[in-house]
Structure 1
Amino acid sequence: MAIRRKKHAGRNPFRGVVDTVSEMNRIADRMTGADGATTVPEQPRGHTDAWTPTTDILAKGSDILIRCELPGVEPGDVDVSLSRGTLTIAGARGTDDEHEDFLVRERAHGQFRREITLPEGVSEDDVEASFHEGVLEVAVRGSVDSTGPARIDVRTKE
């Protein structure tokens, strides 16, 4: 026997879009004021709670390629730096619709930061960055054949 449900005129068209985890996060945000529902002002994001862009790291010939998806980010809002063997990709994605009433908001905005440890001996002359159609590509020239970390044997004491 099939169960038929009555259609309600006021039915939420987004029912089923928000899963249990998203709903729990929404409730937690509402309780802490993170969603702006209370008088607690929204705090700017810092490096510890910045969103992380989707990133692929691959080898192409002797180069390492790092591709970060950054839709909605302007090239001038991206900072790529190299310090002590760590490549840092940082920046911010703004929003033009801050005054909209969102029913569901899943796209991250604000500051982002990604740190990638590169092989030993890479200098800034080995790194080139380009930005095309929302994808940042960083090429680290000649670094695939670099030697990895030295393995240290662990001995037991008697």
Structure 2
Amino acid sequence: MLNRWNPFIEMSNGAVALGPFKEFDQLFRDLSVVRQGGARELVPPADIYETAEGITLQVDLPGHDPKAIEVKVENDTLTLKSERKAERSEKDGARRLERSFGVYTRSFVLPRTVDTSKVEARYENGVLTLTLPRREESRPRVVEVKVNG
């Protein structure tokens, strides 16, 4: 049977057709995860930078109450959790709702070089910045070369 080819949809055999909107569609598939019971958890985007001093993690959480942002370090896992509540609802006469509301959560497995007792969190202009310093023993050090004679 012949079907009309559409480059923007997934094929019935599970293969994804190539097209100019493939990455765009994947972005929206990755933004939210549906958990058991139909509850939706949103995954905020993050940037990670690594230096000799440690790791800096920046997570976009615009419109979140800083007091409601939970940062938890347990063993080697860093977990972020926050909820962005809708200010208005469909009952208020909204014609179109595109902004995401709900529970935002993200977990990261930390390398053993991170000193989890010194993690710092700062929220400014909708961006949560976490500073994860390296353990002193894992930082690079300069060894002095002694010259004899």
Same-fold status (TM-score > 0.5)? yes
8 Å CA contact retained: 1:85, 1:121 = no
Match of 1:142 among 110, 134, 137: 134
Whole-angstrom CA distance in 2 between matches of 1:105 and 1:65:
33
8 Å CA contact retained: 1:66, 1:137 = yes
Structure with more strand by fraction: 2
8 Å CA contact retained: 2:78, 2:107 = yes
Aligned partner of 2:71 in structure 1 is 80
Question: Following TM superposition, where does structure 1 have runs of at least 4 consecutive aligned residues deviating by more than 2 angstroms?
Answer: 99-106, 121-124
Structure with more helix by fraction: 2
Identity of aligned residues (%): 27
SS in 2 for 1:50: strand
Corresponding position: 1:119 with 2:111: yes
Report the CA distance between 1:127 and its aligned residue: 0.7
Unaligned runs of 5+ in 1: 1-20, 22-42, 147-158
Q: How many residues align?
A: 103
Aligned in 2, Cα 1:122/1:142: closer, same or farther, shift over 3 Å? closer
Report the CA distance between 1:61 and its aligned residue: 3.9
SS in 2 for 1:92: strand
Aligned partner of 1:32 in structure 2 is none
Whole-angstrom CA distance in 2 between matches of 1:124 and 1:87:
9
Whole-angstrom CA distance in 2 between matches of 1:70 and 1:105:
18
Corresponding position: 1:96 with 2:87: yes
Q: Give me the CA root mean square deviation.
A: 2.7
Whole-angstrom CA distance in 1 between matches of 2:85 and 2:126:
14
* TM-score, reference length from structure 2: 0.60
Aligned in 2, Cα 1:88/1:94: closer, same or farther, shift over 3 Å? same
Report the CA distance between 1:128 and its aligned residue: 0.6
